[in-house]
Structure 1
Amino acid sequence: MIYANPATGLVGIAVLIALLLLGGRIGVVLGLVGLGGLAVVLGPEAALIKSGVVLIDVLTKYELGTLPLFLFMAHIFFSIDASRDLFDAAAKMVGHRRGGLAYAGIAGCGGFGAINGSSLATTATVGLVAYPEMKRRGYADTIASGTIAAGGTLGQMIPPSGALIVFGIIAETSIGSLFTAAIIPGITQALLYAAVVFILVRWKPEIAPAGERAPWSERLHSLGRIWEIVLLIAFVIGGIAAGFISPPEAAAIGAAGALLIAAMRRKLTWNNLFGAFHETLRTSGLIYLIIIGALIFSVFVGVTGLADGAGALVQSLGLGKIGTLILLGVILLMLGSVLDGLALMLLTTPILLPIVEAQGLSAIWFGIFITRAMEIGFVHPPLGMNLYIIQGVAKDLSITDIFRGVLPFLASDFLHILLIILFPAMVLWLPEVLA
């Protein structure tokens, strides 16, 4: 095995990045580069055998059932306009305050993120509801677009999160513990965004004027539209955190509960039901392909010794624990500016996870850390997918204006990821308490 060395791994990564930048499908590219690399290192027959083992192992994982069930729940809620109801309730409660609709946008993103688990979907659906309302109330373009673009990233962190499910599978760690670990970072992230809004509207009051106070009858009516959704999400997340239901069981309860809520609202039509099935199957198939490709690529990286070599290199720098983690954060943020979020996670996990574990931190902490870096990539140019989604919602805005609006929130993101590095207990305390 003369090619089983870190240099071969680096060549594989260079080929992978080049193919991704040329527009290759992430799952296909990961699998083909991993399979090709294994063929070079181990030989074609051994490469096919190892890849086949990975394929069977993934498809027989019990935990993998979590993903399509949560996706089905999200698509059912999407069909009954849950995002509109969540934003409307928040707007009725705080919309009369200066910057109130911006707070409501963050709350709406957090609530729909807990249902959907996707940053892009959260940004798009809440943006379609919240942005026109902010503009109607006289909000400046910067705070209206920036709030929704940044708030949309909560969809990746607040459980149940698709990114955390994928990480749990490829890192072979507990999805339930990842969901529990994400609760405090998700809440503190939302609070930091709210703090940014608070500072901006105190600095420039004209960018977010106060509105009319909704009567309590309207507030109670809006809360009546979301109580069952909030109760279901609280039960699903709380049940996982408390440990009395597993993530697959919670996902099944969530999917059944979403169907019940849709039926109660008389929106469980054949079109909505089959639309949810179609989107769930399509998205699940794509993600399964990505997971299988990522694990084949991970085996290739392991065989070349690249992860061990990278760990030895970082250790030789003598940066210490905090310095090493900050360096990894900088690397992730740099890669996140040119790579899709999921590509970033799947490419770097097999290389960086051993380095993090060598610093005395667990895969649980790294899962939250890398998901946070992924989120920042959604609002960081040149990719910044959330920025382009907002541009699709607000066609009169240039991408430059949207980026100007998201800059203060991006600063709070950098502060938040630094706090996660300096205070790992933000991530690890709750899983340890509830274990």
Structure 2
Amino acid sequence: MTPELIGFLGIAALLILLTLGVPIGIGLGAVGLAGIAILISPEAAVIKGGVVAFEVVTKYELGVLPLFLLMAHLCFAAGASRDFFDVAARFVGHRRGGLALASIAGCAGFGAISGSSLATVATVGSAALPEMRRAGYQPGFAAGALAAGGTLGALIPPSGALIVFGIIAEQSIGKLFAAAIVPGLTQALFYMAAITILCHFRPALGPRSARVGWADRLRSLGKIADIAVLITFVIGGLMIGWFTPTEAASVGVVAAFGLCAVRGAFNRRLIGEAVTNTLRTTGMIYIIIIGAILFATFVSVTGIADLMATTVREMHASPVLAICAMALLLLVLGSFLDGLALMLLATPIFLPIALELHYSPIWFGIFLVRTMEIGFVHPPLGLNVYVIQGIGKDIPLGAIFRGIVPFLVADFLHLALLIAVPALTLWLPGIAGV
């Protein structure tokens, strides 16, 4: 068998393993090691496995991941989860669909702390869904808005997905964070536009809530002032060059400890839970990264990426057409693969093709994470949908998926905008000079 055929068989084997429920890190590592053993030698596979594991565990740049995770968990302990939604609800709750708009704003704000789609939808959803249902919102619409809004956590910095992509693709995490800000904000605006249009034509979806006076609104801003300062200082300092990514994460952790103290959450139980959750998540992600590097090594040895890049070049297709075809394939795979699995599977295969088409690797990282986000709400997998259904157990899955449809339309339009206008992604990193 040719190396290319072995490569395609390896990808098929990985898809089968993931479909059967094998953890992504184990699946990636097993296929990668088996492929290297077949193509080179078993000894080479064992040596490569040991070297990769040692390098990942001791890699200084990877320290940014557990530090940002710890910062997020400390902010959870400080009680920041509900505050963003509460403040947004006071400002826009009196409008049609106002609480849904507030949920999107809350997800955007909380996403800047958590860096995780699932954590964002679970945390903001637990606060916002009961409030929307008490206000008379149509359950499927309310759940759909929250499931879609939760995807903001995967893109808005500090994003765990972008950190993993930066490590795998050997790209600047600071540039990726800067590049994600405009797409993240415009994504939130697209969702808000969808809510506004829907509630204009169907007011029963999101009734108005009681109006709150300006004095109360302005006082409520104090609830998130400390969190806002923390986020601005850490991400802003990273963008303008005060800190490296690891230093920014370290400063964020120290500031988050101070936040816990100020908010009265600095006790052994809460801090212990934050550290335990951080270690558990970090260990899982380290295994995934080790597996992804082994799988990427296997793919590079097979020559699949070079073969596909040559095929694209010989087709003389326009770069935009090739990227659209790539996006379509990613959306199909995202209908049954977990988002992180999709990203780690696609990066070693599609990144060389994007570079061949003269796309920036920073732009490709945002494009890939943005496409991955759609998988969080895309049937049949749609992990965010199942998380929100766990909060509103009496809401049928079918009703939530129907409520997701308008937001999927907004997702596709936003993705098309990012493809058509790469400057939306690349403008801020160029200005910031990170």
TM normalised by structure 1 equals 0.98
Q: 1:120 aligns with which of 97, 118, 123?
A: 118
Q: In structure 1, what is the Cα distance between the partners aligned to 2:209 and 2:44? A: 67
Q: In structure 2, what is the Cα distance between the partners aligned to 1:408 and 1:401? A: 13
Q: In structure 2, what is the Cα distance between the partners aligned to 1:133 and 1:81? A: 18
What secondary structure does 1:227 align onto? helix
Q: In structure 1, what is the Cα distance between the partners aligned to 2:243 and 2:25? A: 31
In the TM superposition, what are the counterparts of 1:2-401 in structure 2 within 5 Å? 5-401=3-399
Deviation at residue 96 of structure 1 after TM alignment: 1.4
Q: In structure 2, what is the Cα distance between the partners aligned to 1:13 and 1:118? A: 26
Match of 2:404 in 1: 406
Deviation at residue 258 of structure 1 after TM alignment: 1.1
Q: Deviations over 1:365-393 (max 9, x none)?
A: 11100100110000001100011111111
Deviation at residue 81 of structure 1 after TM alignment: 2.3
Q: Deviations over 1:347-366 (max 9, x none)?
A: 11001001000111121111
Q: State the AA in 2 paired with 1:346.
A: L
- Residue correspondences, number: 433
Q: State the AA in 2 paired with 1:59.
A: V
Q: Deviations over 1:290-337 (max 9, x none)?
A: 001100110010011011111122223332111001001001101101
RMSD across aligned positions (CA): 1.1
Q: State the AA in 1 paired with 2:268.
A: W
TM normalised by structure 2 equals 0.98
Q: In structure 2, what is the Cα distance between the partners aligned to 1:274 and 1:157? A: 28
Deviation at residue 218 of structure 1 after TM alignment: 2.8
Deviation at residue 4 of structure 1 after TM alignment: 6.0
Q: Deviations over 1:232-258 (max 9, x none)?
A: 101111111212211111111111111
Q: In the alignment, is the contact (CA less than 8 A) between 2:25 and 2:292 conserved in 1?
A: yes
Deviation at residue 432 of structure 1 after TM alignment: 1.3
What secondary structure does 2:227 align onto? helix
Structure 1 residue runs of 4 or more that deviate by more than 3 Å after TM superposition: none
Q: In the alignment, is the contact (CA less than 8 A) between 1:109 and 1:126 conserved in 2?
A: yes
Q: In the alignment, is the contact (CA less than 8 A) between 1:34 and 1:298 conserved in 2?
A: yes
Deviation at residue 221 of structure 1 after TM alignment: 3.1
Q: In structure 1, what is the Cα distance between the partners aligned to 2:379 and 2:282? A: 28
What secondary structure does 2:39 align onto? helix
Q: In the alignment, is the contact (CA less than 8 A) between 1:4 and 1:41 conserved in 2?
A: no
Which segment drifts farther, 103-112 or 242-251?
242-251
Q: In structure 2, what is the Cα distance between the partners aligned to 1:414 and 1:235? A: 33
Give percent identity, aligned residues only: 56
Q: In the alignment, is the contact (CA less than 8 A) between 2:155 and 2:180 conserved in 1?
A: yes
Q: In structure 1, what is the Cα distance between the partners aligned to 2:81 and 2:99? A: 14
Which segment drifts farther, 333-342 or 216-225?
216-225
Q: In the alignment, is the contact (CA less than 8 A) between 1:4 and 1:303 conserved in 2?
A: no
Deviation at residue 217 of structure 1 after TM alignment: 3.9
Q: In structure 2, what is the Cα distance between the partners aligned to 1:265 and 1:322? A: 50
Question: What 5-or-longer segments of structure 2 have no aligned partner?
Answer: none
Q: In the alignment, is the contact (CA less than 8 A) between 2:299 and 2:305 conserved in 1?
A: yes
Q: Deviations over 1:116-156 (max 9, x none)?
A: 00101100111110010011111111321111010000000
Deviation at residue 54 of structure 1 after TM alignment: 1.9
Q: State the AA in 2 paired with 1:238.
A: G
What secondary structure does 1:82 align onto? coil
Q: Deviations over 1:174-214 (max 9, x none)?
A: 00100000000001000000100110111111211111111
Q: State the AA in 1 paired with 2:70.
A: F
Match of 2:430 in 1: 432
Question: What 5-or-longer segments of structure 1 have no aligned partner?
Answer: none
Q: State the AA in 2 paired with 1:178.
A: L
User: Quick one: structure 1 residues 98 and 315, their matched pair in 2 at CA, closer, same or farther if it must change by over 3 Å?
Assistant: same
Q: State the AA in 2 paired with 1:118.
A: S
